[in-house]
Amino acid sequence: MASCKKKIRGKKCDSTLAFVCYNLIAGIHSAHNLAPARISLCSTTMSSVLKSPLTKNLKVALIQLKAGADKAANLSKVQSYIDKAVSESTIGKPDVVMLPECFNSPYAVDKFREYAEVIPGGETTKFLAQLAKRHGVFIVGGSFPESDQDKIYNTSLTFSPSGDIIAKHRKAHLFDIDIPNGITFKESITLSAGDKATVFGLGDFGTVGLGICYDIRFPELAMAASRAPHNAFAMFYPGAFNTTTGPLHWHLLARARAVDNEVFTVLCSPARDVGGSGYQAYGHSLVVDPSGKIIAEAGEGEEILYAELDHSLLPSARTGIPVHYQRRFDIYDDVTTSTKTSAI
C-alpha cells in the first residue's frame, strides 16, 4: 500500500498494516452498508481493487496453427489466418491477435539456430509489423528463434496497431525436462535464457504481462506483473505444451496463474500435428477469467479462438477475494520487490 508504506518503509510491519487497513475498511463498509466509492482508501494501490485495471472490454483472437519446415509457407499461413481472424471475427474486430510459440519453425532443439533471425531487422519481425499496421491491431507474436551475436533465444514480440514493437520477451525459463515413459526435451542445448520479466502497456486498455510456455510454471513472473506498480489485467503466454505435459498441467497452470493473481490468462498453442513424427503440441488454446473460469477453449487442430475479456470481472474478483491486500510480508518475503521488469 503505497502511501502507508512510505511512512514505515523498511519495517517488517508493512504488510500487517496493509492487512489491518483493509479489514478495518471492509468492516466499516459492512457495518454502514456503504458503497465502495464512499470509502476513503489509504492508498492508490488499495483503491485499484475497486477499479478495473482493464479500462474496457478487450477482444482477442488466438490463432492455433501448425508450423512446418518451410518458413515461407509458415509465414504465408500466418498471414492468411490473421487476415481471416480480422475479417471473419465472430465478436467484431479483435483488438489483439495472438500467435503460438514457434509459429515460423519446427519446435526442435536442432532447428532453432537454423531458423533464427536478428531482431528487429529480420524477416519475421518486419512481416508481423506490417500485418499489425495493415489491420490496425495489436499482435502478440507468439515466439520464434532470435539470433543475437552467438546466442539463440526463444523470443516473443508484441506490436502496436501502428506496427511498432512495444514488448520483447526472451523465454526466461528453459524447457529442460525428462519424464520417464513420457518426454525428454532440453532447450538449453541450443537456447539461452532471457533475464527479465516482461510487463508493458497495451495502449489505453491497461497493462499486461508476457511469458512463453514453461514460464507459466513459475508464478513470480505473473505476480510481478499483477502487483503494484504495474497492476496488470492479464498474462499472455504463447506456449507449446505437449501430449504428456498438456493433459497434466495446461489447464491447471492457466487457471492457477489466473486465480493466484486475479488476472485473465491467455494461452495460445500450436495445433497438434496428428500423425507427424515431430514434437506433438497439445493444442487447446484457452482464455481464463480472474476467478479461474475457462471462458474459451480450442480443440487440437488448426482454428481461430475468439474471446472477449470483460473488464467488470476484475474488480468483482479482487473485492470478493482480496488476496492482493492480505499477503503477509511480515511472515515471508515479497519476491516481486526485486524482480527485474521491463517492456523491451
Active site residues: 101, 171, 213
| E strand segments, the chain | 58-64, 96-98, 138-140, 144-148, 151-159, 165-170, 176-178, 184-186, 197-201, 207-210, 234-238, 264-268, 286-288, 294-297, 303-309, 341-342
- Name the nearest CA neighbour of 310 among 137, 45, 55: 55
Task: Write the CA distances from 71 to 49, 95, 104, 114, integer angstroms.
Answer: 45, 26, 6, 11
CA distance 179 to 323: 34
Given the C-alpha cell 467484431, which residue does it identify? 92
Angle (nearest 5°) at CA 256 between 253 and 261: 130
φ/ψ of residue 138, rounded to 5? -75, 140
C-alpha cell at 343: 517492456
- Cα dihedral sign for 109, 78, 195, 176? negative
CA distance 286 to 268: 7
Quick one: angle between helices 251-261 and 219-226, nearest 10?
30
Q: Is residue 162 exposed (0-12), middle (13-18) or buried (19+ Cβ within 10 Å)?
A: exposed
